[in-house]
Amino acid sequence: MAASAVGRATTAGRMLDLLRTRGTLSRVELAERTGLTPATITNTMRRLIDAGLVHEIGRGHQRGRGQPRRLLELDPTAWYAVGVQIDRTTTTIVVLDFAGVRVADASLRGSGGQSPDATIASLGEHVADLLRCNDIAHERVLGAGLVTHGPQDRDRGVLLTVQPDPAWLEFPLTATLERRLGIPVLLENDATAAAFGEQWAGAVPTDTFGLVYMGSGIGGGVIVDGESYRGRASNAVEIGHIALGQAPCFCGNSGCAQAEAGPRAVVEQALADPDLAARLGIRGDPDETLADFERLARAWRTGDRDAAALLERSARWIGRAAVTLVNLFDLDTVVLAGPAFATAGPLYRLHVESELRRRALTRALSSPDVRLAANVETAAAIGGALHVLRTMPVDVRREPQRIESA
């Protein structure tokens, strides 16, 4: 990496991250929060201002008899980042500006039934369209975060699973998307990205928490002291495969939370009652699991008892998986995120909290708190884009120039 490139761990990267989180800060506040010397702050800030990444926006309150402090703020238009979350039923795209604010989003058909090559091709077109329609120049896009279920090899940008089908195993996802988009692409786990996204959204009152992610499958993420738990090779917190019952799971284990209580399992339980399935229009197409699950959730919300019984059973199982998550990672806060919680979220929140309050080992020491994500459907895509903003180096030599697209 060139000496002038700044990533998160560098002085400039830390200053950018603080400004992104806090909005505006003075040089004095930056020095206090980083522990860096005023001289270092001044010099680094001069480079960031010259590069157009930061600008001054007038003056803050006067303190004592000193000079009024000039406040600094990121230039939101300096760079943009894309976040793309692929699921079998739905794909979500978001664009964040340099300050981390969402400036565009789109939701489209999932990868179901398509080859990875066709999925990436279509994704590339949609991202290009979204940028063009929002007047965001391709040259101003720092990169894209591609967010999927695990297990992944993040360094090589490939999935290490035959889910959703064998063509996806080891397919060069990030390399193909990089070629299509002409920008760097980072691979990230959906649940971990959602945890980053919710932390950023200010929706979690602690910097140590767990997250249950439910799309077509179930995943988990853990943030400890503001950093994600990665384990050996970033394939951690696979709470969809906590064994709870007897149902066989594709993974080779039995009784996995996903096989007992995931959206696919709930839809199959609904199909076992032909009257219910017909009444709610449940079709059972594996590529439309989330759409069928949403039909059940809407039926529950309008008072359908059969739908409620199926969802409540699932929610109690997820609650028991959350007990193991909390007992193993020593947590008291759990966030629920992902498209499966779009409508059914409140029901799941209630049951997961109830199970934790009955069963978590340290429940008497710190009362378990379960929250529905602020961005329940888009947290993972937002987290993917944030990951780009926070970790990809910005070349501060380069003069920022807003090149308008055609």
Single out the residue of 139, 312, 330, 369 in contact with a copy of itself (rule: CB under 8 A): 330
Token pair of 251 as six digits = 């993974």
| Minimum separation from the CB atom of position 232 to a copy of itself (A) | 5
By C-beta, is 83 or 240 nearer to a copy of itself?
240
Q: What is the H or E stretch that residue 198 is in? A: helix 190-200
- Exposed e or buried b for every residue in 121-145, given b needs 16+ CB within 10 A? ebbbebbeebbeeeebeeebbbbbb
Q: Is 64 helix (H, G, I), strand (E, B) or coil?
A: coil
Distance CA 173, CA 165 (A): 14
By C-beta, is 255 or 346 nearer to a copy of itself?
255
User: Comparing C-alpha atoms, which of 245, 251, 239 is closest to residue 211?
Assistant: 239
Based on the shown chain and the rule CB under 8 A, indicate whether residue 61 belongs to the binding site for a copy of itself: no
Based on the shown chain and the rule CB under 8 A, indicate whether residue 350 belongs to the binding site for a copy of itself: no
Single out the residue of 32, 253, 284, 395 in contact with a copy of itself (rule: CB under 8 A): 253
Single out the residue of 151, 172, 346, 400 in contact with a copy of itself (rule: CB under 8 A): 151
Based on the shown chain and the rule CB under 8 A, indicate whether residue 252 belongs to the binding site for a copy of itself: yes
226-245 residues near a copy of itself, rule: CB under 8 A = 229-239, 241-244
User: Comparing C-alpha atoms, which of 335, 384, 86 is closest to residue 198?
Assistant: 335
By C-beta, is 182 or 226 nearer to a copy of itself?
226
By C-beta, is 153 or 268 nearer to a copy of itself?
153
Single out the residue of 4, 208, 391, 405 in contact with a copy of itself (rule: CB under 8 A): 208
Strands 54-59 and 70-74: antiparallel
| Minimum separation from the CB atom of position 213 to a copy of itself (A) | 14
Distance CA 256, CA 136 (A): 44
| Minimum separation from the CB atom of position 26 to a copy of itself (A) | 31
By C-beta, is 134 or 362 nearer to a copy of itself?
362
By C-beta, is 163 or 405 nearer to a copy of itself?
163
Q: Is 161 left (phi over 0), alpha (psi -120 to 50) or beta?
A: beta
Partner residues linked to 108 by β-bridges: 91
Distance CA 343, CA 52 (A): 42
By C-beta, is 139 or 153 nearer to a copy of itself?
153
Q: Site for a copy of itself (CB under 8 A): how many residues?
A: 42
157-196 residues near a copy of itself, rule: CB under 8 A = 160
x/- site string to a copy of itself, residues 270 to 309, per CB under 8 A?
Answer: ----------------------------------------
Based on the shown chain and the rule CB under 8 A, indicate whether residue 205 belongs to the binding site for a copy of itself: no
Based on the shown chain and the rule CB under 8 A, indicate whether residue 313 belongs to the binding site for a copy of itself: no
Q: Dump the DSSP string for 210-262.
A: EEEEESSSEEEEEEETTEE--TTTS----GGG-EEEEEE-TTS-EEEHHHHHS
Q: Which class for 1: exposed (0-12), middle (13-18), buried (19 or more C-beta within 10 A)?
A: exposed
By C-beta, is 139 or 330 nearer to a copy of itself?
330
| Minimum separation from the CB atom of position 331 to a copy of itself (A) | 6
User: Comparing C-alpha atoms, which of 313, 311, 315 is closest to residue 295?
Assistant: 311
- The phi and psi torsions of 297 (rounded to 5 degrees) equal -65, -40
By C-beta, is 135 or 227 nearer to a copy of itself?
227
- Segment interacting with a copy of itself, rule: CB under 8 A, options 105-113, 117-125, 270-278, 317-325: 317-325
Distance CA 248, CA 259 (A): 7
Based on the shown chain and the rule CB under 8 A, indicate whether residue 324 belongs to the binding site for a copy of itself: yes
Indicate the residue type of 99.
A
What are the residues binding a copy of itself (CB under 8 A)?
Answer: 151, 160, 208, 220, 224, 229-239, 241-244, 251-254, 320, 323-325, 327-332, 358-363, 365-366
